[in-house]
């Protein structure tokens, strides 16, 4: 077989639709305590295997879930053609990366200026950050209320208070008679 023919056979055997670069989660952490890295990896690589670049982390065990993501790197990789998995897409949507891409397409088409797009993106990020901070504050307040409930002063039972009052009355009466 000639070298040209061998190259054509080899190229026909490769499934190019599967060769995409993916943005996906790589599981870390121990059993029943998952922690994920958001990575850019070759689609053929195993879930927890080799990756190209780590662009963030996701901890679903906190309330609300903690997401640390480099938005600029995520936008850059998606513009290069990286395909996010379903879960990664939900995280990117939550962090505003997909909205940023939407605005950048509008700038490219001439519907917006870069300044308008940046302002719209910043407003969206600020409103989302305020909602998350409110949720964190609410969670901390619930935890503090639970701590106070558990470690607070124990309430005496009503029956014990009545018996204690009778004992005090009897003691006073006994002390006055002598």
For residues 82 and 104, state if they share a domain: no
**Token pair of 114 as six digits:** 């870069």
13, pLDDT greater than 90: no
Residue 3 falls inside a structural domain = no
For residues 34 and 74, state if they share a domain: yes
The mean pLDDT of 6-21, rounded to a whole number, is 57
Backbone angles phi, psi at 11, to 5 degrees: -65, -30
Q: Give the pLDDT confidence of 29-67 residue by residue, as tens digits.
A: 999 999 999 999 999 999 888 999 999 999 999 988 999
For residues 59 and 103, state if they share a domain: no
137, pLDDT greater than 90: yes
Rounded CA gap, 71 and 33, in Å?
26
> 40, 51 in Cβ contact below 8 A?
yes
Q: Give the pLDDT confidence of 65-76 residue by residue, as tens digits.
A: 999 999 999 999
**Of 37-41, 54-58, 89-93, 156-160, which gets the smallest average pLDDT?**
156-160
Residue 117 falls inside a structural domain = yes
Residue 157 falls inside a structural domain = no
152, pLDDT greater than 80: no
> 91, 69 in Cβ contact below 8 A?
yes
- The predicted pLDDT at position 151 comes to 85
Range of the domain at 78: 19-95
What's this model's pTM, rounded to 2 decimal places? 0.71
For residues 45 and 66, state if they share a domain: yes
Residue 159 falls inside a structural domain = no
CATH number for the domain including 68? 3.30.1320.10
Residue 66 falls inside a structural domain = yes
For residues 86 and 148, state if they share a domain: no
Residue 61 falls inside a structural domain = yes
CA dihedral sign of residues 39, 41, 44, 49: negative
For residues 86 and 116, state if they share a domain: no
The number of distinct structural domains making up the chain is 2
For residues 109 and 121, state if they share a domain: yes
For residues 90 and 140, state if they share a domain: no
């Amino acid at each position: 077989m000639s070298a040209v023919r061998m190259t054509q056979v080899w190229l026909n055997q490769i499934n190019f639709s599967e060769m995409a670069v993916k943005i996906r989660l790589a599981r870390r952490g121990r059993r029943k305590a998952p922690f994920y890295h958001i990575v850019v990896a070759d689609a053929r690589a195993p879930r927890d295997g080799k990756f190209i670049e780590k662009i963030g982390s996701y901890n679903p065990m906190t309330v609300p879930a903690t997401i640390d993501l480099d938005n600029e790197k995520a936008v850059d990789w998606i513009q290069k053609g990286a395909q996010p998995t379903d879960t990664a897409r939900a995280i990117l949507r939550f962090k505003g990366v997909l909205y940023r891409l939407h605005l950048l397409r509008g700038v490219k088409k001439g519907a917006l200026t870069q300044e308008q797009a940046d302002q719209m993106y910043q407003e969206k990020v600020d409103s989302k950050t305020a909602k998350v901070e409110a949720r964190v504050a609410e969670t901390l307040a619930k935890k503090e209320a639970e701590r106070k409930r558990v470690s607070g002063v124990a309430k005496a039972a009503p029956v014990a208070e009545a018996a204690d009052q009778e004992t005090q009355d009897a003691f006073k009466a006994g002390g006055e008679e002598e």
